[in-house]
Amino acid sequence: MLVNTGLAQRRSAAGLCCVVLMFARGGIASWATEYEVEGSIHQTITERNGFREDTTSEFIVSVRHCGWLIQAFERNPKGNLYRREVGSTNGMEIFELVTHLSSAPEQKPTSPATAVIISNNIPVGFLDQSIVGHLWLMFASQCYWSTLKSDMLTPVYDWKACAGANPDLKARAEWTLLSGPGSLPRQVAYLGQWDETNGLYTVTETTLAGQTIVPKRFVFEERHAVAMHGMELRKRVEAEVSGVRSVCSRTSLLPTPTGRTVTVDFRLVRDPNAAQLPTYQNPAVGRWASVEEARKLAPAVASANSPRENLSSRHRRSVLRVLLCSVLLLGPVMMFYSWWGCRNTLRGK
């Protein structure tokens, strides 16, 4: 049985004393730290119909105190290269920027970027294929564990818990940390209603970034119940770190938008069942719009908070978007709206 280390130590005076001692000694569990890790991550998703999808991506995770930035370089089935950057500095807003590159990570973008802004402290991906949640949990979540008030956690690997679906979705979890409060997790198990393990993250090897213990390798497995077969493996992730640095090379831990960046802003969404999403072109190079600016820039805000269209109209629109779901990763905008159409269809059933 795993132990909810962070929760137990917050409830005991002994745990508080340990935290004080670690800070006083400059221990490796201190939150006042910075580092970077880079490596590769491989994910395999096997659906019930036997369809299997394998993807391999390169990543860089930059951390300074409680701020973080994840850069992932992803290729779609056609070989097109995308740079996905997801970052947060305040633990409240997450900025995601997707840029289509020519053929190599260092080359300039070939088309306008797309972005998503959400009000959340956990980067749950909008697509089932998303790898950002895995990387955040294992390399950048050290400040997250002290904020927990129960063992009900957002399943970071499940797209159904994202901002556009059901951000209130929770699962009971058990966990241990690498080195007490302020450190990264060693193992996290997300449990089902019968206490079965649906998702399991396990660190298999560690390394040091300065004085900070970080995973060198980790494995994640998601299982689901199948009639007459028990729990079957659906998703498996393996990540390996190839380089570590004891300093953060980034001046800012937020992605840098261009003036042409098309932005979907969930900070403005009051009704999760809204027919439209507030979308606008980012107003300036290198700077994100504030909430006040975004309200003026997004003409869809009013309709985004109005009642849904009638059922037949919604059904026709959903059918069209389902067709987009068959097109894999043609571009960032396609990726986002394909997911949005699938979500509407699921809700309409």
Residue 194: CB partners within 8 Å, gap ≥ 6? none
pLDDT of residue 106: 57
- What is the pLDDT, as a whole number, of residue 343? 52
- pLDDT recorded at residue 20: 35
> For residues 174 and 5, is the Cβ–Cβ distance under 8 A?
no
Q: Look at residue 21 in the predicted model and tell me its pLDDT.
A: 36
Helix H, strand E, coil C: the string for 143-199 is CCHHHCCCCEECCCCCHHHCCCCCCCCCEEEEEEECCCCCCCEEEEEEECCCCCEEE
CA 64 from chain centre, in angstroms, equals 18
- The per-residue pLDDT for 109 is 57
Cα dist. 188→59, 155, 161, 176 in Å?
21, 10, 17, 7
Show the low-confidence residues of the chain (pLDDT under 70). Answer: 1-32, 102-111, 227-229, 271-275, 300-349
Residue 270: its pLDDT value, please? 75
pLDDT in tens, 154-198: 999 999 999 989 999 999 999 999 999 999 999 999 999 889 999
Taking the C-alpha atoms of residue 44 and residue 262, their distance in angstroms, rounded to an integer, is 30
Say what the pLDDT of residue 111 is.
Answer: 65
Q: Where are the domains of the chain?
A: 5-245, 309-349
pLDDT of residue 67: 97
Quick: pLDDT tens for 137-159. 999 999 999 999 999 999 999 99
Write down the pLDDT at residue 142. Answer: 95
Query: In the prediction, which pLDDT does 80 show?
Result: 84
List pLDDT tens digits, range 48-80. Answer: 787 899 999 999 999 999 999 999 999 877 788
Q: What is the pTM of this model?
A: 0.78
Please choose, from the candidates 223, 231, 227, 68, the residue with its C-alpha nearest in 3D space to the C-alpha of residue 139.
68
Which position has the token pair 């956990």? 122
Give the per-residue pLDDT at 16: 37
